[in-house]
Amino acid sequence: RLWTEREFTDAVIVTSSGSIPVHRAILACCPPMRAALSGGFQESRECRLQVDDVSHASVEAFLQFVYTGALPDEVDAVEVLQLAHRYDHRDLIELCSTNAVGAVSTS
């Protein structure tokens, strides 16, 4: 419900093509995000995290997984895997690795 309604958000993820309101308490499950949003970094003071080296859709997919434990049907598994590694989300790393291998083996 927090993911779909996005009420009471207290931070924003800025991508190359927009911004996504988020809850810092939810993102705290990813240690690098928790550190960036709670330490003495500029991101913590502004409650914004810049992620502009992957598509907006991949950032949305990553965040959907963080919030709900599920990925949308159509995702760029390689980009989402890149985000999963960057933010140390082990469950998503495993899921994306499996999906990426499956996509390669069926091609």
pTM for the predicted model, two decimal places: 0.84
3-49 pLDDT tens trace: 888 889 999 999 999 999 999 889 888 888 888 777 766 666 678 88
Q: Which domains does the chain have, with CATH numbers?
A: 2-106 (3.30.710.10)
Indicate the average pLDDT of the chain. 86
pLDDT band at 105 (very low <50, low <70, confident <90, very high): very low
pLDDT top residue among 67 and 105: 67
Share of the chain above pLDDT 90, in %: 52
Long-range residue pairs from 84-92, CB within 8 A, at least 24 positions apart, any chain: 86/32, 87/30, 87/31, 87/32, 87/33, 87/62, 88/30, 88/31, 88/32, 89/29, 89/30, 89/62, 89/65, 91/65, 92/62, 92/65, 92/66
